Amino acid sequence: MGEGQAGFRRPSIFEPAPVLPLPQSPKSCESGSLTASDDIDVKELEKPNAIYNTLPNGGYGWVVVVCCFMLEFFAEGPVSAFGVFQNYYVNEKFKGRSSNATISLIGVLSSSSMAILGVVSGKLCERFGYKIVPLCGVFTLSLGYFLASFAHEPWHLLLTQGVLCGVGAALTFLPAVVVPAQWFDRHRGLATGAVSLGIGVGGIVWTEFDHLLIKKISISWVLRLTSVIILAVCSASIMLIKTYRVSPTVSRVGVESLRNSNLFIFLTAAFFTGISSLVPFYYLPAYAKDIGISASGGALITSVANAASLAGRVLGAVSSDYFGPLVVLLTAYTLTSLSILFIWTTTHNFVGTMAFGIVFGLGYGATFTQTSTFVAKYFGVDTLPVFVGLYYTLSGIGYLFGPPIAGVILEKTKSWGMLSCAMAWVWPLPRVFESGSNTTAVPHPTIVSSYGTSTLLSDAIKRYSDLISEEAFTPPADYKRGKFATSGELSTLQVKVESSDETLSLETDESYTLDVPINGQATLSANTVYGAIRGLESFSQLLMSYEGARVVRNTPVHIEDKPVLAHRGILLDTARNYYPVEDIKRTLDAMSYNKLNVFHWHIVDSHSWPVESKTYPDLQKNGAYAADMQYSYADVEDIIQYAKERGIRVIPEFDMPGHMFIVGETYPEIMSCMKKQPNWDQYAAEPPSGQLNIADPAASEFAMGVINEYAKLFTDEVFNLGGDEVNRKCWEEDSKVKAYLNKNATATVETLLADFYTNVHGAVKKQKKVGMSWEETLFHSEYTPPKDTIIQTWIDEQSIPKTVAKGYRSIASPSSSYYLDCGHGTWLPNYDGNSWCDPFKTWMHIYNFDAFANVTDSEQRKLIIGAEVALWSEQSDTVTLDKYLWPRAAAMAETAWTGKTDADGHVRTTKEVTQRMHDHRFRMVGRGIGAEPLQPLWCVRNPGNCLLP
C-alpha cells in the first residue's frame, strides 16, 4: 500500500470526511472535479480498475456495504413495514376514528418528505460528512416512532410518523446509497444493489416482526420498541462506516449537464418512479383485500411481490455491471409499465394480482438499484450527493402527484380494479356511513332481540332471517370474481329497541344505528320497532354472496341513519285498472326494501269502485269490473296489517266531488253531467264524465257517509279527500244547480263548491282524522282548508313554495318529475300523439328533482314533509306494475330519505350513484321484484364506460 493508505485515520464524526479521489484518467483529474488529500498517493489511485475495490483501505469497502445494509435494514425497513400495515396500525390505534384520507396522507408525507429532502441531505453530507448526518437522521427517525406511540388523535401521526420519520429516513437513506458507490467501480452496481436489499429485506422482516408483536403487546409498545432498536443498531452501524468525501459539486451541475440526454432520461425516470411505485405497489395489500383475497392470501402476494423486488434488485445490480445502468433502467421501466397495464385491464383475482406483484416487483427492484450506479457512470462519482438527492426529490414529487393522478384516472374511467369492485353500501344511502377495508364472513347469522314480546319485531326478525338465508346476491360487476376470504366471522345481530310504542304515524321515529364489526356480534339500536325494521333492511343489503359464501364487505361498518322527510310514498291507482292483493303486497315489499313508508291507495275513481262498502253495498256490485276484481274488508285489513309490519302507512283516497262517474251507476240522482259523449272533454279531464251534484244535499250526505265508513276501516290518521280536477261547466249546465242558484241570489258555483269542501273536511275532523287534498282545494277554489290540512302538489314545481308560503304542509308530487305513468303517448285511439305529461320520467330525472330547491326560509322548509311518486293506471296493470314503479321509485326513495346533499354540502349526481342504483335494481330482481333494466349488462359490469362524452 502507498504511504497515503498507511497514513489513513478515521475521521471524527464531527468533522468532514477526507476527500476521496476516484481512479480516473489524468485528463479527468486535471479537470479539477476531484480534490486529492495530501496524504494519499495519487499514482496508487490511478492503477487499473481491477484493483480499485481494494483501494483505499484494503477490502474495507465490503464492510462499508454491510454496515450500510444494516442501516437500511433497521432504518428504512420499519418505514416500509408501516407502509404495508399503516391502515391496520391507524385503525387499531384510533378504533375507526381515522379516515382513509388521513391514513393515505401519513404514508404520502413520510415518503415524499423523505424524498424531497434528498438534495438537502446530500448537501448536508458534503458539509458535515457521512456520519453526523445519518446519526441525526437515526435520532429523528427514532423520535418519530417514539412520539407516535403517544398519539391520541390521527393528525398526531401526520407530524410524527409522517413528517419526523420522513425527515429521519431522508437523512439516513442518501448516505447509505452514496457511500458504497465511492468504494467501487467495476462492482459498483453489485455493491449498491446489496445495500438496497436492506430496505427490501427489512420491509419483509419488520412487517412480520411487527405482525407478531402486535398479537402480544399493544401497538404503542411496538412503536416504542421499534424506536429503541433503530437507535441502537443504526448508531452502531454508522460508527463502523468509514467514509470519504467528494468535493462540493453543486456549482458543477450547470447548463451542460442539464443538456445531457442521459440526465433527462434519469430525471424523467425519477418523477415517474414516484408516480408509478406509490399507487399500485405500496397499496397492494389494501388492493388485495378490496377484491376479496383473504388476509393470508394478501400477505402471500405482498411477500412474493417484495421477494420479486429483492430479486429485481439483485438482477439489476449484477446486470448493470455487465450491460450498464441505462439498459437496466429501460428494461425495468418496461416491466413496470406492462404490469400496470396488466392489472388495469385484466380480471382481478388472486392469480392476476400475484402476477402483477411479481412483474412489478422485478421492474421496481431493478429500477431501485440503478440510481447511484447511473450517476457515477454518466456524471461522475463526485456528483453523487447532488444527483442522487435530485433523483429522490423528483421521485418525491411523483409520490405527491401519484394519488391525485390515480383519482383523476379513476374518475374518468371507473375501471381500475383497485376501486371498481363492489363495496359495502345501502340504498337509500345512510346519513352517516363509515366503513373499513376488511371482509367478514357471515355463514349463519342469528338475529336476536331484547325487546320483549313485540309481534311486529319478532315477525320482522323472522322475515329478514328467512330473506338472508335464502338470498345469494352477487353484484353484477363481481360476477367473475372468485370466493372472498375473510378477516373475521359475524355470528349474531343483536337488536335493541328503546320504546314499546308501536304507533305508526307521521311522527314515528325511524332512526337507527347499526354497527358491524370485523369479528363477533353486530348491533342494531333503534328508538322504535320501525327504526329497527329500517336497520334490518340495511343489514340485509350489506350481505353479498361469492361462490356460495356470504360476506359483509368493508368491515367494520358504522351507520347512523334517519330520514329527511317523514312522508315517503307511492300512489297507486287501483280504479282505472285492477291490481290483485298479491300485487299490492309485492309493492309493499319493494317499498320496504327502499325504506318508503306511505302507500297512498287511490282506491276508487270514475272508472270503478272495487272496494267493498257496507254502507252502500251496491257500489262495488255495480262499480267493480268483475266479481273477482274487488277488495273486501278482509283484503283491506290484511293489506293494512301487511304494510304496518313493514313500517308502511296506508292512506286511502276517495276523490270527491269530481272523478265520481262510477257512483252514478248506482245513484244517478245525485250526479251531474253523467257520461257526456262525444264531447266529454268539456266536462271532465278524461272520460267518463260525472261529478257529485254539489247543489244536492243527498250528494253531500253520500260523501259524508263514505267518509264515516272508510275512516273506520282505514286506521291511519290521514284521510285523503282528493278535491282535484273539478269541472265548473258540468255544474253550470246542471238543472238542479241552476234551480238552486235561482233561489239563492248570493250563491255561485264557487260558493257551492266551498260549502261542499267545508262539509267533507268537517266530516274528516269529526272522525279525528287529518284531511289531505290535492292543491286545487287550496289554490283553485274559494275554500280555505283548515291549517292542519296536508296539501299534495302536482301541477308544477312552483306549487311547493306557494303551499308552504301559505303555512300549509306539503307533499311534493310534481307531474313533471314524479308521475311514473307518463311517456307512453296518448291512450285515446283516434289521436296519435303525446300524452299531456310526456316525456317519460327517467330515474335520473326523478333523482335530480329537489323539493327544497325553491324554498329558502328555514321555517317554510320544515313544512315540506314528504315526497310521493304516482302511478296512474290508464296504461298500467298487473303486467306492467313492477317495471313502471321500479327502480324509478327507488330514485325518489333515496332523495326523500337521505336528501340531495351529503353532510359536507356536496350535491350527489346520478353519475355518482349509477353503480349503486344498478346493484340495487339487481338485488330487487333477486327478491322477486320485476324492476326494469337501466342499461345493457356490459355497462353495469364496466362502470363509467357508458357515459356521454
The catalytic site residues sit at: 725
Rg of the chain over CA atoms, in angstroms?
Answer: 38
**Residue 10 CB partners (closer than 8 Å, separation 6+):** 242
Question: For residue 78, which amino acid is it?
Answer: P
Neighbours of 715 (CB within 10 A): 13
Instruction: Find out whether the peptide bond into 26 is cis, omega within 30 degrees of 0.
Output: no
The whole-angstrom distance between residue 722's C-alpha and the CA centroid of its chain comes to 42
Task: Give long-range contacts, CB 8 A cutoff, 24+ apart: 349-354.
Answer: 349/291, 349/293, 349/481, 349/482, 350/293, 350/297, 350/301, 350/482, 353/284, 353/287, 353/288, 353/291, 353/293, 353/301, 354/300, 354/301, 354/304
With beta carbons less than 8 A apart as the criterion, state whether 764 and 790 touch: no
d(CA 629, CA 877) in angstroms, rounded, equals: 12
* Nearest Cα to Cα of residue 886 among 583, 460, 532: 583
SS3 content of the chain, % helix, strand, coil (to 5): 55, 10, 35
Report whether 808 contacts 785 (CB < 8 A).
Answer: yes
Residue type, 380: G
54-59: long-range pairs with CB below 8 Å, 24+: 55/5, 55/23, 56/1, 56/4, 56/5, 56/8, 56/20, 56/244, 57/5, 57/8, 57/242, 58/1, 58/5
Closest CA to 819 of 757, 760, 756, 873: 873
User: What HEC string does 814-830 produce?
Assistant: CHHHHECCCCCCCCCCC
DSSP calls for 854-901: T---HHHHHTEEEEEEEE--TT--TTTHHHHHTTHHHHHHHHHHH-SB
Distant-in-sequence, close-in-space partners of 438: CB < 8 Å, separation ≥ 6: 289, 486, 487, 488, 518, 554, 555, 556
Which cell is 134 given?
A: 445519518
DSSP notation for 213-234: HHHHS-HHHHHHHHHHHHHHHH
Question: Could you tell me if 901 and 907 are in contact, meaning their C-beta atoms sit under 8 angstroms apart?
Answer: yes
A 10 A CB-CB count for 58 gives 12
Residues 370 and 265: beta-carbon distance below 8 Å: no
Q: Give which of 91, 49, 786, 44 is closest to 436, Cα–Cα.
A: 91
Q: What are the Cα distances from residue 57, in Å, to 37, 272, 333, 587? A: 14, 39, 37, 88
Secondary structure of residue 552 in the 3-state scheme: strand
Longest dimension (CA), the chain: 138
Distance from C-alpha of 758 to C-alpha of 751, rounded to nearest angstrom: 10
- Cell numbers 425527515 correspond to what residue? 167
Task: Give the chain's end-to-end CA distance (angstroms, integer).
Answer: 74
Cα gap 324→183, rounded to integer Å: 18
8-state DSSP, 611: B
Q: Which helix (H) or strand (E) holds 492?
A: strand 488-497
Give burial (CB, 10 Å; 0-12/13-18/19+) of 657: buried
Distance separating alpha carbons of residues 94 and 115, to the nearest angstrom:
28
SS3 526: strand
